[in-house]
Amino acid sequence: MLSYRHAFHAGNFADVLKHWVLIECIEYLKLKDKPFVYYDTHAGPGMYSLDSEFAQKTQEFETGIAQIWNDPDLPEALQAYCELVKSLNDAQSLLQYPGSPGIAKWQLRETDRLILSELHSTEHAALSENFAHDKRTEVWKEDGFNRTLKRLPPNERRALILIDPPYELKADYERVVEFLAAAHRKFAQGIYALWYPVVDRDRIEKLEDALQRSGIRNIVLFELGIEADTDGRGMTSSGMIVINPPWTLQKRIDSGINYLVERLGKGGGFSRSERLVDE
Ligand SMILES: C[S@@+](CC[C@H](N)C(=O)[O-])C[C@H]1O[C@@H](n2cnc3c(N)ncnc32)[C@H](O)[C@@H]1O
C-alpha cells in the first residue's frame, strides 16, 4: 500500500536542487537539434497547488522555492528554473509548483517524448489528466523501474532518465543501484539522474560505494544540506547523482549551490559537488 504523497513536500529545498539539476540536463540536451526521450520512473502528479491542504499542512515550500523564486540577485545558473516557476504564477503569489513531469512538459520540444510511470492511483489519475492532450507523452500505472527498463534503449538514442523514488521502502536504496546497473547495460549513453534523501548517512555511503563498485563510469554527485547530519530525525540533506552528466553541469551547479546553502540553510548548511567515478 503506497502512502507517500509528494504534495506535502512540493517545492522544498530537496525539490529545488532536484528540479534545478533536471532543467540543466534538459537544456543541455536541447542544444542539439535532435529529439530525445525523458523518462520519469516515479513521476508523481506533475503539478502541485501550494494552497492545497497537503502543501499548507507542512508549508515546506516556504523554506524552499519561496525563498528564491523572485530574488533579484539570483545566480544566473538558477534563472531558467525560477523563470519556469514564475511563468506558472502571478508576480507576487506563489501558488503553483511544477513536479518533474510538469517541468519536462514545459521544457521539452514538439519532437521530444516523455515516458512517465506512477503507481499511486490518485497521483496517476492527476498525472493522466495533466497530460491528457499531450501527444508526446505516455503515462503508465506500472512499477517505474520495470516500465523504464522495458523501454530502454530509445530509438532516438538520446535520453534523460530521472529516478526519484520515495524511499518509503528501505529496499529502494538497493533497488536504485540494481536498476541503474541494468539500465546502463541496455543503454550506456543515457543521462541518468538519481535523487536521494539523507536521513541516515550510512545508507548514502553504501549507495555511493555500490555505484563506485558497479563498473559504471562518469558519475558526479551534488548535495545540498540545510543542516548537519542528525541521527535519523528527518531529512536534513538531499542530493542528485548524475551518470554521464552534461560536461557543463558541474560548473553550472558549482556557480549556484552555495547561494542555495546561504538562502535555504538553517546554520550548519553545506554543499557537496564531487566526481564519484571518472570518465
Ligand atoms: C518523490 S515522489 C515523485 C516526485 C516527482 N518526481 C516530482 O519531482 O515532482 C515519488 C512518487 O513515486 C510513486 N511511486 C512509488 N513507488 C513507485 C513505483 N514502484 N513505480 C512508480 N511510481 C512509484 C509515489 O506514488 C510518488 O508519487
Q: Does any ligand 1 atom lie closer than 6 A to the CB of residue 54?
A: no
Pocket flag, ligand 1, residue 172 (CB < 6 Å): no
Residue span of the structural domain in which 156 resides: 12-277
**pLDDT given at position 267:** 86
- Report whether residue 124 contacts ligand 1, using a CB cutoff of 6 Å: no
pLDDT at 1: 60
Q: Which residue matches cell numbers 538531499?
A: 238
Residues 6+ away with beta carbon under 8 Å from 261: 224, 225, 269, 270, 271
Q: Is 202 domain-assigned? A: yes
Q: Report which secondary-structure segment, H or E, holds 211.
A: helix 201-212
Q: What is the β-pairing status of strands 219-225 and 237-243? A: antiparallel
Pocket mutation for ligand 1, best pick of 119, 140, 172 (most atoms within 8 Å of C-beta) = 119
Contact assessment for residue 204 and residue 222, using Cβ atoms and an 8 Å cutoff: no
Q: For ligand 1, say whether the CB of 149 is within 6 Å of any of its atoms.
A: no
Predicted confidence at residue 109, as pLDDT, reads 98
The residue whose CA has the least distance to atom 13 of ligand 1 is 42
Look at residue 125 and tell me if it is in a domain. Answer: yes
* CA 207/CA 144 separation, integer angstroms: 19
Flag whether 242 is in a domain. Answer: yes
Going by the DSSP 8-state scheme, the letter that residue 184 receives in this structure is H
pLDDT at 149: 98
Phi, psi of 267 (to 5 degrees): 95, 130
Question: Residue 1: inside a domain, yes or no?
Answer: no
Residue 32 resides in a domain: yes
Check pocket membership of 144 for ligand 1, CB cut-off 6 A. yes
Split into its structural domains, the chain has a count of 1
The ligand 1 atom nearest the CA atom of 98: 9
**Protein residue closest via CA to atom 26 of ligand 1:** 44
Bond preceding residue 75 cis, omega within 30 of 0: no
Residue 223 falls inside a structural domain = yes
Take residue 10 and report the three cell numbers written for it.
512540493
Q: Where are the beta strands (DSSP E) in 130-213?
A: 137-140, 159-163, 191-198
What is the block-wise mean pLDDT of the chain (279 residues), using blocks of 10 residues?
84 98 98 98 97 88 96 97 97 95 98 97 97 97 98 98 95 97 98 97 97 98 95 90 98 98 94 97
Phi and psi at 85, nearest 5°, equal -60, -45
**Separation CA 188–CA 216 (nearest Å):** 9
Q: How far is the CA of 246 from the centre of ligand 1 (A)?
A: 25
Residue 97 lies in a domain: yes
CATH number of the domain that residue 33 is part of? 3.40.50.150
Which residue's alpha carbon is at the smallest distance from atom 18 of ligand 1? 143
Interval between CA 42 and ligand 1 midpoint (Å):
3
Instruction: Report d(CA 158, CA 105) in Å as an integer.
Output: 17
| Whole-number pLDDT of residue 30 | 98
Task: Give the pLDDT confidence score for residue 233 in this predicted structure.
Answer: 77
Q: Is the CB of 118 under 6 A from ligand 1?
A: yes
**CA 77 – CA 248 distance, rounded (Å):** 11
In a domain, 246, yes or no: yes
Rounded Cα distance, 162 and 72, in Å: 30
CA dist., res. 194 & res. 139, Å (int): 20
Measured from the Cα of 99, ligand 1's closest atom is: 9
- Say what the pTM is: 0.97
At residue 78, the pLDDT reads 98
